[in-house]
Amino acid sequence: MKEMTKLDFNEFHAHPDLKVQCDEAKRCNNCGVPFCQAGTMIAGMASGCPLNNLVPETNSLVAMGNYEEAYKRLTKTHSFPEFTSRVCPALCEHACTCGLHTSPVPTKENERAIIDYAFSHDLVKEPVPPTRTGKTVAVIGSGPAGLAAAQLLNMRGHSVTVYERSDRPGGLLRYGIPNMKLDKRVLDRRIDLMKKAGIEFKCSVNVGKDIKGKEILEKFDRVILCCGASNPRDIKAPGREAKGIYFAVDFLKEVSKKLMDLEYDSDALIDSKDFSFGDLTGKSVVVIGGGDTGNDCVGTSVRLKAANVTQLEMMPKPPVERLESNPWPEWPKVLKTDYGQLNAIEAYGQDPRIFETTVKEFEKDKAGKLTGVKTVKVKSVKDPATGRFTMQEVPGSESVIKADLVLIAAGFLGAESYITEAFGVECNERTCVSTKVNEYKTSADRIFTAGDMHRGQSLVVWAISEGRRAAAAVDESLMGYTNL
């Protein structure tokens, strides 16, 4: 591991210069058709903001330096700009008309500038409803979907209680995203405002185990299930029982929890040896999976002084630039080198990713301790009978990677069965909770759903959008109409 820039668990986001933001926002005024705010599906992928943020209008106000009005405009459609401006992959920018021939307008950075200005000038409030409707709603899960639904329903005047099985609220935002990407004090700041506005949070309560679904239904008029796609996909290969193999979500959760318990002392966390997965100093880490969670595992492992990190991705290496078959404003299917990979490149001198590779076997010693990962190359082969492509092993391409720790970041399968069974809701073939298309009411009476539990593993911005729309559906079911 070579000498490198000090890496800690503090946020790495730089604060944008307001003058630069104003100048950049002016470019938005030349747009003819704002694909950025469409939030539509093109070729099976999202193009534009799922929240339908009024991007040109907001950027116009930024261009004039009117951040207070920009904040008011942004929050007409957005619940938590401070979250998405840190973790969103910026679907708005990838659909920006300016991006067709030059760089897109940095809408994500503008959003960050707006919300930072709003908080620093005491503009951010969670409105306390002047009257209550007398209706009660239980939100199960306090991730981005649950928080968004709770926010709007409380604003409407319903009494909202949020249940969270972890010790602190936030769900994915707290325990699925590392602190250097989203500082948990930013999350706590918003939750404190929500509490002051009348929303009740009950943590360390695992609904479906600690309390039955029937009991929840007896206490509340409506229930919204926002438990996420929290069922991790496993790697079923020989040797899976070896000691030293963990799911990525468990790894990231423990690191985040210890950092908070240490009052955000990055040095104390980095030097800590008190982890269930052991001290990473001098150890070889293999991360299986190439998405955001895999990248977070790479960045976290580098910070915990791993000797080296390898990241396995089954899919081929994407092109550096768009192909003709992937035109704008489709989501660009190009190579993305995120902060975790950049950290690894600086630390070890090479990109940690190995593409078109999967696990064939986990190797272990006589004591059952992990020693390595046997991999094999794969390639996409078209079945002449069906026309479908499948991944097949390349004969003779096996190799072994030394590994003291394996982190499985292969995605999530959907909702956990104990919570869906507790409320008797139907699930689809992806084990997500079923509803009619573009609706949020489940098969069970008075029960709604939103977020990853509803649509499958997705982005924070999609979860917020789902939570807001589910809140409107619940409000209409309670009141006969909705103005949310």
- For residue 43, the model assigns a pLDDT of 87
Q: Mean pLDDT across the stretch 134-142?
A: 98
The pTM score is 0.95
Q: How confident is the model at residue 4 (pLDDT cuts 50, 70, 90)?
A: low
Cα 131 from chain centroid (whole Å): 34
Segment 230-282, tens digit of pLDDT: 889 999 999 999 999 999 999 999 999 999 999 999 999 999 989 999 999 99
Q: Mean pLDDT across the stretch 400-425?
A: 96
* Contact in structure between 10 and 263 (CB atoms under 8 Å): no
With 90 as the cut, is the pLDDT of residue 214 above it? Answer: yes
Domains of the chain in sequence order: 18-120 (1.10.1060.10), 136-230+413-479 (3.50.50.60), 245-408 (3.50.50.60)
Segment 277-334, tens digit of pLDDT: 999 999 999 999 999 999 999 999 999 999 999 999 999 999 999 999 999 889 999 9
* Start-to-end C-alpha separation, the chain: 53
Rounded to the nearest 10 degrees, the angle between the axes of helix 144-156 and helix 184-196 is 20
Question: Using CA atoms, how far apart are residues 416 and 232, in angstroms rounded to an integer?
Answer: 9
Q: Is pLDDT larger for residue 185 or for residue 381?
A: 185
Q: How confident is the model at residue 5 (pLDDT cuts 50, 70, 90)?
A: low
- For residue 100, the model assigns a pLDDT of 84
Q: How confident is the model at residue 44 (pLDDT cuts 50, 70, 90)?
A: confident
Q: How confident is the model at residue 143 (pLDDT cuts 50, 70, 90)?
A: very high
With 80 as the cut, is the pLDDT of residue 71 above it? Answer: yes
Question: Using CA atoms, how far apart are residues 432 and 155, in angstroms rounded to an integer?
Answer: 28
- For residue 111, the model assigns a pLDDT of 95
* Contact in structure between 126 and 38 (CB atoms under 8 Å): no
- For residue 210, the model assigns a pLDDT of 97
Q: Residue 236: name the closest of 353, 362, 355, 354 by CA.
A: 362
* Contact in structure between 50 and 39 (CB atoms under 8 Å): yes
* Contact in structure between 33 and 56 (CB atoms under 8 Å): no
Structure tokens at 85: 């401006």
Question: Using CA atoms, how far apart are residues 444 and 214, in angstroms rounded to an integer?
Answer: 12
